[in-house]
Chains A and B, each alone.
Chain A
Amino acid sequence: QSALTQPPSASGSPGQSVTISCTGTSSDVGGYNSVSWYQQYPGKAPKVMIYEVTKRPSGVPDRFSGSKSGNTASLTVSGLQAEDEADYYCSSHAGSNNPVVFGGGTKLTVL
């Protein structure tokens, strides 16, 4: 069982927006601004899409955005494109004794 809770699936049509949630506790998501989101295609390594809750690495389209409210972080993908179909994982810092925790992942389907 993963430390952070994500919906197993999400979907949307091209051009629409989809939001994926990531729920933790005050010991991880709620306690730190070190929340990141990763995109993973089948058979490939994950790629960071969002870090520090809202920041985008260079090269990541601005269609991807992040936010946080209390113990829940969210990833929003606007203007969905076929290439956005992938698995998405959230991750958070959870203190010095367990620095890295992940969500179980969400499979995003573009209809």
Chain B
Amino acid sequence: QVQLQESGPGLVKPSETLSLTCAVSGYSISSGYYWGWLRQPPGKGLEWIGSINHSGNTYYNPSLKSRVTISVDTSKNQFSLRLTSVTAADTAVYYCARRVPAPGRYSDYWGQGTLVTVSS
């Protein structure tokens, strides 16, 4: 059974960098698929942040691209998110998920989510 687990600070100060890691178990990242991050501000809808594959190929949401970096560590079977210059608008529950490639292009396994609050 594929499982994903997010980890990282729950509180980040404005203008600082948000960093999260997603540990994957039950499946080797090196075997395929894309691995991505999504977020959901409190009481609002889902927003895709970006995805990466085992080779390090990345795709980012154009609205966040200038502030986002997603990286993968196949030796630890995990991938990470960095979001720079955060503001209160970046407060959200952050999810990591496995993404099925074309033609499906959907997320089949999700982490439980972690709330990150941006506040001084």
Q: In whole angstroms, how far apart are the Cα atoms of A45 and B106 in the complex?
A: 14
Chain A at the B interface: mostly helix, strand, loop or mixed?
A: loop
Q: Which chain B residues lie closer than 8 Å to A46 at the CB level? A: 46, 95, 107, 110
Whether the Cβ atoms of A33 and B61 lie closer than 8 Å is no
Known: A45-B112, A45-B113, A51-B100. A36 touches B106 (CB 8 A): yes
Taken together as a complex, chains A and B put the C-alpha atoms of A102 and B41 apart, in Å, by: 14
Bound form: Cα–Cα A89–B46 in Å? 8
Within 8 A of A (CB), among B32-59: 36, 45-48, 51, 59
| A91 contacts the other chain (CB 8 A) | yes
Q: Is the CB of A48 within 8 A of B106?
A: yes
CA distance A57 to B100 in the complex (A): 12
Looking at the assembled complex, report how far the CB atom of B46 sits from the nearest CB atom of chain A, in whole angstroms. 5
Majority DSSP secondary structure for residues of B touching A = loop
User: Quick check: B104 and A51 within 8 Å, CB to CB?
Assistant: yes
Partner of B45, one of A36, A48, A100, A103: A103
Cβ proximity bits B8-23 to A, threshold 8 Å, 1 near / 0 not: 0000000000000000
Complex Cα gap A89–B100 (Å): 17
Q: A105 on the interface (CB 8 Å rule)?
A: yes
- Identify which of A2, A48, A91, A97 contacts B62 (C-beta below 8 A): A97
A33 & B103 in contact (Cβ 8 Å cutoff): yes
Chain A residues 56-111 with CB under 8 Å of chain B are: 57, 89, 91, 93, 96-105
Residues of A within 8 A of B95 (CB): 45-46
Please tell me if the beta carbons of A45 and B100 are within 8 angstroms of each other in the complex. Answer: no
Q: Is the CB of A34 within 8 A of B104?
A: yes
Task: Assess whether B45 is in contact with A98, with CB atoms less than 8 Å apart.
Answer: no
A-B contact pairs, 10 of them (CB 8 A): A34-B102, A36-B107, A51-B106, A52-B103, A89-B45, A93-B102, A98-B62, A102-B47, A103-B45, A104-B45
The residues of B with any CB-CB pair to A shorter than 8 Å are 36, 45-48, 51, 59, 61-62, 95, 97, 100, 102-108, 110-113
Besides the known contacts A51-B105, A93-B102, 6 further A-B residue pairs in the complex with CB atoms under 8 A apart: A2-B45, A34-B104, A36-B107, A51-B106, A52-B103, A100-B36
